[in-house]
Amino acid sequence: MPNTHAPNSDPEFIDPEVTTALERTKTRPRAIQDMVELLSRCVGDNHSILISSPARMYPQTVQDSIPYVELLQLFSNDWLDISVIHWFAMYFYETHNSQCAFFNPHHIKGDSCTKKSEGVQEHIIDMFMFHTDKTFFLAPYLANDHWTLIVICPSIERGYIIDSISREKDQHSYLLTSVIDEAFGFPFLWDMVNCKQQKNGWECGFMVIKNMYEFVNTIQHDFPIKASLWNEKGCLPQKEIDKLILDLTPQFISRVFPSAQVRGMHDNM
């Protein structure tokens, strides 16, 4: 997955949001701070990073730009933006022996489901026709500033909603489910998954990353037997979120900055 730096139009500009995010990371565990310091050295004066979708993830190569401040939010207990979630989807798409395809989160957002539902349906069908060899389609879905993961299996006409704030919700709580039904021309059987819940307002993006990671690495390979892994209770501890990020972000850094030394970053957890 080739990546390039975004051009730096004003190297003298200091983004106050970056300064604030960097200050917030100083209270995090030492391993998190080490990762931030490495990332800062790699990014340098660049205000954002360009990432490119892997071969055959989409019909055409897609580029996305991740502002530096949004990368820092991975380490500072902050809400995650769409470009960060998109990068993780790109990374998970390349999982070995995967039967998973991904909808582009930019194309299926809640406001698009309201204002441009025909365009969302077109994207869904385009991806389904492009990935006839895939069994599962993962949708990192952003609506009303909240992230949810929706997994569909068209061959059995079934969908799974994995929401870290799921209390008193059902399939009708999500605009995307009805758009998927309309796109395929039949109603899916929708299941609300018992998954870990979030304690605060910022964790939903991290929960989607966790749920995508578990599905592509474990659940998909013995489905539906291993779907029992979704039968979770309680909240995801902060330490597990930190471990998840420390496990996964070195892959981002090493791909964007091949010369970066990212081994041994867990030693100070």
pLDDT in tens, the chain (269 residues): 545 455 444 556 677 889 999 999 999 999 999 999 999 988 888 888 999 999 999 999 999 999 999 999 999 989 999 999 999 999 999 999 999 999 999 999 999 999 999 999 999 999 999 999 999 999 999 999 999 999 999 999 999 999 999 999 999 999 999 999 999 999 999 999 999 999 999 999 999 999 999 999 989 988 876 666 678 889 999 999 999 999 998 888 888 888 766 654 444 44
Backbone phi, psi, residue 80, to 5°: -100, 135
Backbone phi, psi, residue 268, to 5°: -105, 15
What is the 8-class DSSP label of residue 131?
A: T
What SS3 state is found at 11? Answer: coil
Segment (H or E) for 41 = helix 30-43
**pTM exceeds cut of 0.75:** yes
DSSP conformation letters of 224-253: TGGGGGG---SB--HHHHHHHHHHHHHHHH
Tokens of 105: 């989160």
